[in-house]
Structure 1
Amino acid sequence: MTSDGRRVEYIRGGMVQAPSDTLFLNNWASIAKENNEILHHPKLDQTSLFPPKEVSSYIPATGSAIHKVVSKRFVFDSSNIAALRAKSSNKSCVEHPTRVEAVSALIWRCAMNVVRMRPVSANLISVAQLAVNLRGRMLPPLSNLFFGNLMISTVATSTTDSTPELHCLVGQLRDAIKKIDSDYVRKLQADDELSMFFNSLKDLNEQYAKGELEFYTFSSWCRFPFYEADFGWGKPIWISTNNTVSKNVIMFMDTKCGKGVEAWVALNEEDMARFECEPELIAFTKMA
């Protein structure tokens, strides 16, 4: 939505391509506004770094053809973010959690509570799959001008028989992301790690198909310059994502001021009815 009330529809091809999406969007805006000037020329040679691989045997674990999926937006303003970060911090475990770490931990914790409230509950493994941008984790780091889906996922696991403390979940999420370092990326490029990565995902999918685990996919578009795109009508007053059509997908975006977080959460209808009533979630958010 632009400052003069116009609605702009932007069609995109994936939920984890924020660097490429913002590069395209801001160049498009510049061309429309400033006499065909491209702000930043994309680099299109990423296949030399990560040649295409055959991965057709991998089937993502998200999505459901049985349940009706409901997507809702939960807004964490800057004051609630500060309070949540303070609550999620622990000197003996993890200090100074980021906005996304704190919000991810809260949503994951509330989702575990929801699983325990199901009529037929089981001690399931709860898996948080996190999308990680590889550009800044290479040596030397790659610029966000490198166009394409340069990401990989990592996972943190817990169980639903009890609810872990927020700071423990933050620690698990942080540890999972820390594994994606420059050495890991180098092994990916050399194929040493790639087959292990896909085998581990296949194992998770098999457990998911057997009903042994609950799978949540987290992706963050925070800190990317979506709100800088000006097509000549002024910068947008609100940008949202509409990718959450699969069950158990959580997307984060900045609020307009850049200090809060909007969380788009997609759950099946029954789980969402319980999730949005979670007292801890209500304490830190407003639903929109």
Structure 2
Amino acid sequence: MFNGPAIEALRARGKGPIAKNPTRVEAVTGFLWMRAMATLERKNNGLTRPSIFTHAVNLRQRMNPPLSGPIGNVLWIAAACYRRSRSHHTGEDVLPSVVGELRGAISKVDSDFVLGLRRDKSLIRSSLEKAIEVGLSEDGADSFLCSSWCRFGFYDTDFGWGRPIWVSNIGLRKSTFLNSILLVDTRSGDGIEAWVTMDEQEMALLQEDPELRAFAYVNPSPLIINTKL
């Protein structure tokens, strides 16, 4: 769980030529992607591999005019690729580069792109084929996927018995969605919970990552999550 001050620190740290003012989601997602790549490198005894990150993009506000409120998955997938280099071992902070890759991939899904999907159905197929080509071109690449539920207003929901105290994801013991990240707002509104699913051994390494623990609470109590820290 990332509290408000930690998120603002990551936003400041993640500023770069492409993402000059990272969003909360971009900063947290980029940081988690960066630490996940470092975890896999540690597990593989220093072996670096390309990493592909797919991010679900909400199309509602990217439509013209914007579409607000309807039920259903109105989304697209943005794919970013990052290749770890020597800069990871020279002390250079790579978070701006990682956040920049995310910003570049997501920014391509704009109103013009959505309009193209509506006008030319073949664009859907060609776009998916390009995404597949990226994955196939990076032989042996690690893959991650992310979806953000931030700003969805879950804590404002009231079905007649009051607003929820804690909103969480469903944990499946044998989930097929490894290397996945789900972001949800905390009840206080200024923090973000990150539900991360990885291989058990990799998760153990990630949870002990000193840099991750410097910015996030690892597996905190819901009583902590629901307060401003």
TM-score range, shorter chain: 0.7 to 0.9
Secondary structure class of the residue paired with 1:194 = helix
Note the C-alpha offset of 1:213. 0.7
Which has the larger displacement, 159-168 or 250-259? 159-168
1:238 maps to 166
2:222 maps to none
Q: Identity over aligned residues, as a percent? A: 38
C-alpha contact (below 8 Å) 1:113/1:160 kept by paired residues: no
The counterpart of 1:111, out of the listed 26, 32, 36, is 36
Note the C-alpha offset of 1:110. 0.4
C-alpha contact (below 8 Å) 1:227/1:237 kept by paired residues: yes
Secondary structure class of the residue paired with 1:85 = helix
2:142 maps to 214
Output the TM-score relative to the length of structure 2: 0.84
Cα distance in structure 2, aligned partners of 1:270 and 1:161 = 24
Note the C-alpha offset of 1:161. 4.2
More contact order relative to length (CA 8 Å, sep ≥ 6): 1
1:67 maps to none
1:201 maps to 131
Q: Residue type matched to 1:81 in 2?
A: I
Secondary structure class of the residue paired with 1:238 = coil
C-alpha contact (below 8 Å) 1:124/1:161 kept by paired residues: no
Residue 96 and residue 240 in structure 1: after superposition, are their counterparts in 2 closer, same or farther (change >3 A)? same
Structure 2: state its 5+ residue gaps: 220-229
1:270 maps to 201
Cα distance in structure 1, aligned partners of 2:20 and 2:26 = 11
Cα distance in structure 1, aligned partners of 2:167 and 2:99 = 27
1:44 maps to none
2:22 maps to 97
RMSD after superposition: 2.0
Structure 1: state its 5+ residue gaps: 1-74
Note the C-alpha offset of 1:199. 1.1
1:149 maps to 73
Give the total of aligned pairs: 210
1:17 maps to none
Which has the larger displacement, 115-124 or 153-162? 115-124
The counterpart of 1:182, out of the listed 100, 107, 111, is 111
Rg (Cα) greater in structure: 1
